[in-house]
Amino acid sequence: MLLFVGLGNPGQRYAGNRHNIGFMAVERIARRHEISPWRRKFQGVAVEGALARERVLLLLPGTYMNESGRAVQEAAHFYKLEPGQIVVFHDEVDLPPAKVRVKVGGGVAGHNGLRSITAHVGNDYKRVRIGIGKPDVKEMVPMHVLGDFAKSEWPWVEALCDVIADNAGLLVEGKDSSFQNRIHLAMAAKGFDEDEEPPGSD
């Protein structure tokens, strides 16, 4: 079994924030693969289903970003999951918009959601880093992250969430490089993500 965690802040006020793209991606995975219904559980909302012939629990913590680790720890403890069975989808200011990279472990790079998860379950979980870009002025980063996606950004956001959902089974199978490559190629075909060579493939 795997635990897919989308990071974000609960409530309509934050729904369109760049910081909530992890929520958006995991919600799209549930919708695309007809995994339902969401139920209040593990200090958030969760739904269990199958992806690539594997049981997967999708979790959106309701604790607010800074306490995401409490919800993740509760779900992991309930299902007796190790950090290696946890996949966290989150916004990444150090990647350009619409880029996606996958890695296991590493630093938290100032991301409070990752910091909380690491504090509660350790560092060896998988991160699906979803690029949102960052402003030139460092002091503007918090405002950028907690601001809503601009109207001009929504086409790539919607396209990227669709492509992530379409290829989520590759993450279940451990084919992280293939997942990255498929996303790059699909986004390029849609007119996004055209400015670099595709990442390697498994």
Residue 200's pLDDT band, with cuts at 50, 70 and 90, is: low
User: How confident is the prediction for the chain on average, in pLDDT?
Assistant: 94
- In terms of residues, how long is the chain? 202
Residue scoring higher pLDDT (184 or 199): 184
Q: Classify residue 63 by its DSSP letter.
A: S
Residue 10 lies in a domain: yes
List, for residues 180-189, the tens digit of each pLDDT value.
999 999 999 9
Tally of domains in the chain: 1
Residue 195 maps to a domain = no
Residues noted as catalytic: 19
Neighbouring CB atoms inside 10 A of 151's CB total 7
pLDDT in tens, 5-61: 999 999 999 999 999 999 999 999 999 999 999 999 999 999 999 999 999 999 999
Q: What is the C-alpha separation between 164 and 51, in angstroms, rounded?
A: 13
What average pLDDT score do residues 74-98 get?
A: 96
The answer to whether residue 199 is domain-embedded is no
Task: Using alpha carbons, list the distances in angstroms from residue 83 to 26, 60, 147.
Answer: 18, 17, 31
The answer to the question of residue 196 being in a domain is no
Any domain includes 45: yes
pLDDT tens for residues 149-191? Answer: 999 999 999 999 999 999 999 999 999 999 999 999 999 999 9
Q: Is residue 201 part of a domain?
A: no
* Residue 119 maps to a domain: yes
Tell me how crowded residue 57 is: count the other CB atoms within 10 A of its CB. 23
Q: Tell me the residue range of the domain where 132 lies.
A: 2-189
Q: What is the pTM of this model?
A: 0.95
Whether residue 176 lies inside any domain: the answer is yes
Mean pLDDT of 125-140: 93
Tally of CB atoms within 10 A around 198:
15
Output the domain CATH number for residue 54: 3.40.50.1470
- Report residue 201's pLDDT band, with 50, 70 and 90 as the boundaries: very low
Q: Give tens-digit pLDDT for 58-84.
A: 999 999 999 999 999 999 999 999 999
